[in-house]
Amino acid sequence: MSKFLKVLIAACVIAGPVSAGTYGLGRTATSDEVKAWDTDIRPDGVGLPVGSGTVAQGEEVFADKCAACHGDFGEAVGRWPVLSGGHGSLADDRPVKTVGSYWPYLSTAYDYIYRAMPFGNAQSLSSDEVYALVAYILYVNDTVDDEAFTLSNENFLSVEQENAGGFFMDNRSEVEYPKFTRSVCMDNCKDVVEITARAAVVDVTPEETAAAAAENSTTNEEVETVVVEEVAMPVLNEELVAKGAKVFKKCKACHKVGAKAKNSTGPHLNGIFGSAVGANEKFKYSKGMKAAASEGLMWDAENLRTFLKKPKDLIKKTKMSFKGLKKDKDLDAIIEYLKSVSN
Ligand code: HEC
Ligand code: HEC
């Protein structure tokens, strides 16, 4: 059994009020072992050893033992953690969280540095060195500005951390839970149900299904009926999709596609192929487009072709001011591309 585990078990036995007896394992930890293990420093100062160090002393130790990773002024070398700066950045999109800008209690800095640093040689620093290092970190964070400043167990609690007020007790039970605990509608929740797309046009069934079903030559009539009704759609022609993506440059000024697509001059075109005309609830269509929508017009290949060749040929009063694609091969390509940008 490792020495650490033994000490730990011994410590648990000492500390555990529930199990007064022993388990016949290990031995009582010596007071030195308990002292070596019991290094935590609490925000209220409990645990701080007697000692002191100045900013200037800290600077020397830091240059010697810390700067190789954390930089001369705690600004960090490469991707090692920064220890200074980031002041006032906590509400930014990319907050910089350092001992100075983020840590609410200075005791954590003492505790952490003694416990874990320098990386690879933890717990090798004397109390005076740790006080000096913490003083230096305060200095590079502009919390103190005098190189002669001495930090000790006596004035430790008088140092105020910038973000001391930024942490508070978990208050989700009052603030968040009420927001999320309400009764949720489970049936008849929508007044009107509208059909916005038809499966035959949307092409939700992979092409293999028809072939596979035929191959299995099932006796189940229902399946056969489905096969007959199914509109066989070709699998996407990737080459054509790629050409279509180029043609789409002509549309980009007004239409967006992809995960973050939003409506702009024109509606976003995700999932447009096979959908109903004018079905984007957030877009303000022209009267002409609305009229076509109310007639139940769908964006199948034929309608798209007519529209994109000359918008007004399909919808007379559309406000899409685009002169149209002249070449058939561009039309083929753009339609294939629109098929590929699904919801
Ligand atoms: C070999 C590189 C290296 C050296 C030398 C080193 N550190 Fe670190 N330090 C690290 C790494 C890595 C972490 C992050 C560890 C983690 O997140 O588990 C870190 C984290 C820290 C943090 C916490 C930073 C934060 O915001 O989470 C402090 C404070 C710190 N080091 C202080 C020191 C001091 C003081 C010394 C010199 C006594 C020192 N370090 C020496 C690599 C190093
Ligand atoms: C100058 C801006 C502009 C350009 C360029 C443009 N469009 Fe449009 N598009 C619009 C507007 C505006 C509408 C809405 C029309 C309406 O409400 O009458 C629209 C509507 C559409 C619709 C119907 C959308 C729906 O929700 O029913 C499709 C499909 C479409 N455009 C495809 C294209 C394609 C493909 C291209 C490129 C080849 C293109 N558009 C180029 C502005 C543009």
Tens digits of residue pLDDT in 12-30: 445 545 555 778 888 889 9
- Condensed to tens digits (0 to 9), the pLDDT of residues 33-53 reads 998 899 999 999 999 999 999
**Are 44-166 and 238-340 the same fold in CATH?**
yes
Q: Is 77 in the pocket of ligand 1 (CB under 6 A)?
A: no
- 48-57, 232-241, 266-275: segment of lowest average pLDDT: 232-241
**CB of 254 sitting under 6 A from ligand 2:** yes
- Please report the pLDDT score of residue 36 as a whole number: 87
User: Ligand 1 mean position to 156 CA, how many Å?
Assistant: 21
Lookup: tokens for 319:
């406000």
Residue nearest to atom 18 of ligand 1 (CA): 116
**What is the whole-number distance in angstroms between the Cα of residue 115 and the centre of ligand 1?**
11
Residue 98 CB less than 6 A away from ligand 1:
yes
Q: Which bound ligand lies closest to the C-alpha atom of 118?
A: 1
Q: How many residues does the chain have?
A: 343
Domain boundaries, the chain: 1-38, 44-166, 199-229, 238-340
Among 4-18, 143-157, 284-298, whose mean pLDDT is lowest? 4-18
72 pLDDT above the threshold of 50:
yes
264 lines ligand 2 (CB under 6 A): no
Q: Collect all residues with Cβ–Cβ distance below 8 Å to 334 and sequence separation of at least 6.
A: 244, 247, 248, 251, 304, 308, 325
Please state, in angstroms and rounded to a whole number, the distance separating the CA atoms of residues 246 and 235: 20
Residues 6+ apart with CB under 8 A from 162: 87, 100, 101, 143
Q: Which bound ligand lies closest to the C-alpha atom of 277? A: 2
In one letter, which amino acid is 217?
A: S
| 278 Cβ below 6 A of ligand 2 | yes
Which CATH number does 238-340 carry?
1.10.760.10
* 176-191 pLDDT per residue, tens: 888 888 788 888 888 8
Residues 150-159 have a mean pLDDT of 97
**Contact call for residues 336 and 240 (beta carbons, < 8 A):** yes
What pLDDT was estimated at residue 195? 83
pLDDT tier at 221 (50, 70, 90 boundaries)? very low
CATH class of 44-166: mainly alpha
- Percent of the chain at pLDDT above 90? 69
Mean pLDDT (the chain, rounded) = 87
Residue 214 is predicted with a pLDDT of: 60
Torsion-angle region of 45 (φ positive above 0: left; ψ -120 to 50: alpha; else: beta):
left
Query: Distance, CA 264 to ligand 2 centroid (Å)?
Result: 10
pLDDT of residue 189: 85
Distance from the alpha carbon of residue 206 to the mean position of ligand 2, in angstroms: 28
Q: What is the number of the ligand closest to the CA of 119? A: 1
For residue 108 and ligand 1, the question of a CB distance below 6 A is answered with no
Q: Averaged over 208-223, what is the pLDDT? A: 55
Query: pLDDT confidence of 212, banded at 50, 70, 90?
Result: low
Identify the pLDDT of residue 186: 87
pLDDT exceeds cutoff 90 at 342: no
